[in-house]
């Protein structure tokens, strides 16, 4: 895993565009009168990765109440990038409620997303985590891709503030071993 601390304006703008936020939001400076409470970067990384593992543990248990508690209250749509049956690249935006509904209908143990934490970027109270994954349904391989999580500190809690992913069915052999 490669750990990076600090974020440039360009990186913040790219993350903002990925998450569908207005470009101006990424460029805003911190309010000069705002106090800064910067967590230890290693503690922030550990907390963010724990949230992600908690999400997939709750998903395996089909526990949507536990899953919802891991997301920021006002989290927006989640972009997914994939190639459709017509071989056309597509970006689809799903929401938290749609995600939770799909998990709620699953038999506990039937959904298994296996991840490898590849990159972690800590900047103040925002952590970006990149995790290649392989997804299994009822023990059978379904697809693989990369998840990009934005984990933000709210008070003393760390919450998922954004999630984007790619999805593909091929080219997944050894994907998590790289």
Give the pTM: 0.79
**Rounded distance, CA 132 to CA 109, Å?**
21
The backbone region for 14, taken as left when phi is positive above 0, alpha when psi lies in -120 to 50, beta otherwise, is alpha
Q: Name the CATH topology of 9-18+48-169.
A: Nuclear Transport Factor 2; Chain: A, (3.10.450)
The alpha carbon of 31 is separated from its chain's Cα centroid by a whole number of angstroms, namely 27
Per-residue pLDDT of the chain (178 residues; tens, 9 = 90+): 444 444 433 344 344 444 454 444 444 455 454 556 778 889 999 999 999 999 999 999 999 999 999 999 999 889 999 999 999 999 999 999 999 999 999 999 999 999 999 999 999 999 999 999 999 999 999 999 999 999 999 999 999 999 999 999 988 988 888 6
């Amino acid at each position: 895993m490669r750990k990076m601390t600090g974020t440039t304006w360009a990186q913040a703008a790219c993350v903002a565009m990925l998450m569908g936020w207005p470009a101006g939001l990424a460029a805003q400076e911190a309010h000069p009168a705002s106090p800064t409470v910067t967590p230890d970067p290693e503690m922030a990384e550990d907390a963010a990765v724990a949230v992600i593992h908690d999400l997939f543990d709750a998903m395996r248990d089909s526990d949507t109440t536990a899953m919802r508690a891991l997301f920021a209250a006002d989290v927006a749509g989640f972009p997914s990038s994939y190639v459709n049956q017509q071989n056309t690249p597509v970006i689809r935006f799903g929401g938290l409620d749609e995600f939770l509904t799909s998990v709620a209908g699953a038999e506990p143990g039937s959904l298994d997303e296996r991840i490898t934490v590849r990159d972690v970027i800590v900047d103040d109270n925002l952590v970006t985590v990149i995790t290649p994954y392989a997804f299994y349904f009822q023990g059978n391989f379904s697809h693989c891709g990369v998840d990009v999580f934005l984990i933000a500190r709210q008070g003393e809690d760390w919450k998922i503030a954004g999630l984007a992913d790619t999805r593909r069915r091929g080219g997944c052999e050894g994907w998590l071993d790289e």
